Structure 1
Amino acid sequence: MKKTVILILFLILSTNIFSQTTDVLTGLTQPISLTFKGNILYYAEYNGGNGKISMINVNTPIVPIEVIQNTDWSIGLIFNGGDLYFGQIIDNNLSKIDINNIPSGVTEIISGIRPYDFALDGNMLYISAYVENKIFKIDISSSNPTLIEVVGGLSTPYGIALHNDELYISEYDGNRVSKINITESNPTVQEVVTNVMGPSGLCFAGNILFIAEAEGNKVSHINVLANQSSVTETVSNLSEPSGLAIYNDELYITEYTGNKISKIGISSILSTSEVTVQNDRINLFPNPAVNFITIDGLIKLKEYKIFTVTGMKVYDGLLNASKTIDVSMLSSGIYVLSLENGIRLKFIKK
């Protein structure tokens, strides 16, 4: 009996030890969104300095560098090449800034929408509009993009994340995560999991979906291909987790009311078949392409295959250190880049 009690106590202590977060940055003001570009972490402070975006190199002694201030309550961060897209709540718009030419300032892309999060599929940017209870999309390659409604009738959509052709949506007031197939002309909302407490940010690592439960003060996860009906707790005792991003098998978390960014190792959660990605998004650019395409968001080298839209394989190989692929030999047309974990990226060859 004594040995049993000791064993149970050891297991409890072990669980607590391995489920604790490490502080990355403290003393922030309502950090809400974050994203990676390489080893640089960009984060938005919702009402810090009237809304500002800063960055840190997570591989060196951390010294935050302010990117831009007075963004009218910034929210939602996503990269397309060197352009960082984000929302401005007060001005109800989607904007961008070229991080390679910051003095050029902010460019407004579209107004009349209150965004929370973004997901990118080629040139199509998906937007969760939590006031309108809808998902919209725009073509960011257009010189005059217009809002296109994708689906409505949601319950405060916050975080969104793409997995293959499915867009996962956290419905904050609905306490559920749902999904739609973006290839459908009139997509139907399907429930993925319910009874999550105020789901906010979403983040994919391969087939594992991490969910920030803001009202539950915890992060949970689920394998979306395993037909699971409930989530597994990843870490608890957080202070209103909001944004999620992954780098080097570590999950970074913005704690909105904790005024900090923390992280936790997730290597034990990810199977060897899972691809390690940054912030649930793997981007391909330029698109359209002429000679080369670059894959942004992968940490490890991965095998790839290129298919025509009819499903015929035309090329395969292993991504090199610069994560570029020579596509100059391809004929003009639409292709699909398939990574070994099942993630697919569409691109156009000029």
Structure 2
Amino acid sequence: MKKIYPTYYFLLFSIISFSQTFDWESATDTGNGISQTVSGITATFTSSYSSDDSKLINGNGFAGSSGNVVYTYQTDSGESATVSFSSPVDITSVYALAPYTFSGTRTYTFTPSGGSNSSVNQDLTYGMGSTVTLNWTNVSSFTITSSIGDDSFGLDDIVFTTPTLSINDFNDENTTIYPIPSSDFIYIQEALDIKSYSIYNNLGVKIMSATISSDHSIDIQNLNNGIYFLMFDNGKTSKFIKA
């Protein structure tokens, strides 16, 4: 079995990134917003008006939507809707909806946090939807505002990619971790210069980050069986198997 690993690693880390979508189909109302998790990353939709004003509804095809959409009603100018992410993402586009609460066309502003990105303005006509091209990188959240009060706003698909490892990022400096394989915990033997870590799955997508515990253990009980990769804050990397 071990003889196939080098080839396997190369194939896995030759994959740089792939598009995914927060489509809200598996989203839930947490009481503090609407949340959906895709590939270990959670997107949460909230309203500045109140958490109760963040709604998850079936769009029934309204304005080109597909399935569930998230929705908020803004009563005053300057209020906003926000989508935040548990880990930074690169956002390609979003599908925005303008409900029948006004007539004509209004301009909505999409403002990102994180990375070096610019705000995007998009005109939306009442009762219509539009794909808003963003092409943002390393975004931790973004807000949507309208300059006019007594307004409403809906959001469907968020198309995104996650920062991934490439074959050049993984150098396997043999930081000693044990036992391998493991079903519950792995331990870092030489952790004096390591304070935090990130775990990547077999597609190179980051699925979790945490600080090193006092006993130098990493809890992997909730991971599916397979091969994973560790990247430490000191730049060293290693691999392990969850069995």
Structure with more contact order per residue of length (Cα contacts < 8 Å, sep ≥ 6): 2
TM-score (norm 2): 0.29
Larger Rg: 2
TM superposition score normalised by structure 1: 0.21
